[in-house]
């Protein structure tokens, strides 16, 4: 994550009152980001929306099928992450 992107996200969340930013007492150059009560409530609402979307998408699958799908997708992701990491290492070695 690029620092500028993170700053933009935190700025937006702070403007919306979902997080608070305070100086880190141990290092004034850093900030401590804390989720507000409103931020927690918003997160709970988002969790409900995500759960409903997943239930709608996966409606034809029973619990066992959903677990199997998750396993298969995880295996695919793990494989491609290893492949990408290996390719990046090869590129670095070639440089």
CATH number at residue 23: 1.10.10.10
Per-residue pLDDT band at 11 (split at 50, 70, 90): very high
In DSSP terms, 20 is beta-bridged to 34
What share of the chain has pLDDT > 70, as a percent? 99
Task: Name the helix (H) or strand (E) containing 85.
Answer: helix 63-94
User: Per the confidence metrics, is the pTM higher than 0.85?
Assistant: no
Is the confidence at residue 50, as pLDDT, over 70? yes
Domain that holds residue 84: 61-95
Domain shared by 10 and 47, yes or no: yes
Per-residue pLDDT band at 30 (split at 50, 70, 90): very high
Per-residue pLDDT band at 62 (split at 50, 70, 90): very high
Domain shared by 37 and 71, yes or no: no
Domain shared by 2 and 40, yes or no: yes
Output the average pLDDT for the chain.
93
- Confirm if 58 and 50 have CB atoms less than 8 A apart: no
Domain count, the chain: 2
Place of tokens 């997943």: 54
Cα–Cα dist 18/75, whole Å: 35
Is the confidence at residue 24, as pLDDT, over 80? yes
Distance of CA 30 to the CA centre of its chain: 22
Is the confidence at residue 48, as pLDDT, over 90? yes
Domain shared by 4 and 37, yes or no: yes
Domain shared by 12 and 49, yes or no: yes
Domain shared by 43 and 67, yes or no: no
The first and second tokens of residue 11, run together, are: 């700025």
């Amino acid at each position: 994550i690029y620092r500028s992107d993170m700053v933009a996200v935190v700025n937006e969340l702070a403007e919306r009152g979902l997080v608070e930013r305070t100086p880190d007492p141990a290092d004034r150059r850093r900030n401590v980001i804390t989720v507000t009560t409103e931020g927690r409530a918003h997160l709970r609402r988002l969790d409900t929306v995500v759960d409903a979307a997943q239930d709608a998408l996966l409606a034809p699958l029973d619990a066992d099928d959903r677990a199997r799908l998750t396993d298969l997708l995880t295996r695919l992701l793990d494989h491609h992450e290893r492949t990408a990491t290996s390719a990046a290492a090869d590129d670095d070695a070639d440089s």
